Structure 1
Amino acid sequence: MNNTVMVDVLIIGGGIAGLWALAEWRSRGYEAILVSDELGKGQTIASQGIIHGGTKYALTGQMSNATLAIGDMPRLWRNALKGDGAVNLAQAQILAEHQLLWTSAGIGSRLTGFFASHAMKSRMVALDKNHYPELFHTPQFKGALYQLDEPVLDIPSVLASFQQYYANYLIAVDSYESTLIEEQGKYQYLAALAQGGKVLIQAQQIIITAGAGNEALVKPLFPKPVNKTHGLQQLRPLQMVLAKGDLPRIYAHALGMSDKPRITITSHPTLDGQVVWYMGGQPAELGVGKAPSQLIQETRQELQSLLPWFDLSQVQWATWNVDRAEAAQASGARPDKPSVHTVGNVTVAWPTKLAFAPMLAHELIQQLAPQLSARSKPFVKSASMQTPQVAKAVWEQVF
């Protein structure tokens, strides 16, 4: 027989959505625990660390549903970074307090009025040339820079903060050998512990936030489509581009003619003292399925067009494939908000964006807390339960 653990809430998946939810549940006095093989493995560690406030989604000159939904997220994250509230990220590293929106000559004029409108002026401010980063201190730069009130975080340090504060409630498991099992109409989780052995976890509510792993776990629970699509989950892939070397720090979206940035660059320090430019936007979107060498060449050409004065001849290059897992949409487009589906005592959830983790956690509590009956006894982590490690940063894996 397996050992048995009883809790109020079990969270399966150690990305930002599951970790934030764990903190929120425990702050309200519930016995919540989280199981994962590695903290942040997958989408979270592969994110750029941008806490979007929606400006990126208004690049067509209009306020979208995504812009409005995500607008309050930077404030919630900043509270956590100060150590205020249920989630304490005071030990996490802020790479940049602000991002830049970067327009080339002639591009910015069509949006100048919109950027100055009441809807956007609280989100961004035009930078004086005297405050430009050094990279743009050249007569060859003919565009403009806008400062966005959206921070960029070092995601490994965010994950390490959760690991530090919640180690007693984090359990390392072999996710491939662990499974949901049904007994008398309720689901339980048979966890294969990383150190060996198994434990049966009985929870009043099971929340699955395993990203791309969600579908395999819960497919038997949803035999019929939950909407007009033929599945529960959709994957929207990216192929990110990385450049490593003696590079200046920059955190910016280069604006083009579409609703997606020509390129989005975030800068990350490496363990050997260099800097990586981690690049998304159009190169990552349009690079799906391309040979890495082709995508790298195209990205170099794009950077040469945007930064013709800057020498990139001495940097190392690599790419990284990411599957963004989301609730399936009939159109295949990105959902505007977090998504939640429930069957019995199992709820599967997707945050959609890193920044949406607080919103998703609050939605889960609103929906599921009223269904919880008498509280479980305090959870005591046994010696056979290891704490999951934090996933390695992408650039430390590829270089």
Structure 2
Amino acid sequence: MNRIVKVIIFGLVAGGSFREAAADEPMRKRSDPPVIRSSWDDLLEGVETPEDWQARRQVLRRRYLELIRDEHKPEKPPLDLQVHEEVTVDGTYVRKLISYNVEADERAHAYLGIPLEREGRLPGVVALHGTFAQGKSRAAGLVDNPDKAYLDHMCRRGYVVIAPEHFVSGHRIPPEGPYDTSRFYRKHPNWTAVGKFTYEHSIAVDVLQSLEEVDGEQIGALGHSLGGHGTFFLAAYDERVTAAACNCGASFFRHNPKVEGWSRDHWYVYFKPIRPGLLRGELPPIDFHEIIALIAPRAFLDVSGLNDGNPLTQRQRILMNLKIMDVYELEGASENFAFFAHGRGHSVAHESRQLIYGWMDTHLKPASATATKLVE
């Protein structure tokens, strides 16, 4: 029980006189910080050493591949990269519309940006668009919101950028409409949409590594919304991704009142096989904190809006990220993980973009690119 002390407050009021006010204030005493415990602690439950974590990591990797039904992906075809158009933008970079094979009978289109001024090979970035019918065109800065023109922004910063189309957008909008996955599931009844787009985004990494202008050891990935969670799905899947940044990726499985949205019965269906379990109130054996932890010790930044959707669910994201930080500390790579939470909702505002692009500069460019110096 806190002792209550009487505090006398004198305040200047209208006319220049003082009046006396009394307030009851609790007596506060110093204390050590309490241990923060949450439901996300299961990530490292029973893990005490780096060796324990590597064993746990193998289990989580298996569960992740099972979630996306990776065993049902098709055999990877030859790229057969083709250029359909080429434009020079502001004398700064060349933007190409390209296509390449993703299945034996299916080609993906993408915009590819290559800076004109370069010394040696440049880092490459996979820029993933959100749920927008002409997403790759938006990522290239040709339509809609220029805040989301990642290809344009990053090419001007000295990156080779590929902005691939999502498989139900752009040149491949199905007859049922943008982002309708019914035709995909008829073709691949045992696969998942997440498995499909992650596999295709990994092929986009193949494209970058095939280019003489790209340093294949310095590959980044970034995206917003659908492209945001697409980014960590890709980075967890493909270890060639050196640095990744998720902006406003969707909510996880647990503590999510709309968890069935991950397996709808119509339109865009992320994980069709898990729907029966979700309807019974059963979640998959892996959640997003465990998937993101697979990226460690490689660099990962999570940017989110506390008022993006359900505020209680989004506040859980803070606790989730605190636990992911524990993994990076266990890996001895705490400098490779960060998160930023803001109040701008589902946006890619200026400060978010600066953090994301700066994150890429820090982890993909030489140290001299971000070094400071004293004034002479």
Question: TM-score by structure 1 length?
Answer: 0.23
Larger relative strand fraction:
1
Which structure shows the higher helix fraction?
2
The higher radius of gyration belongs to 2
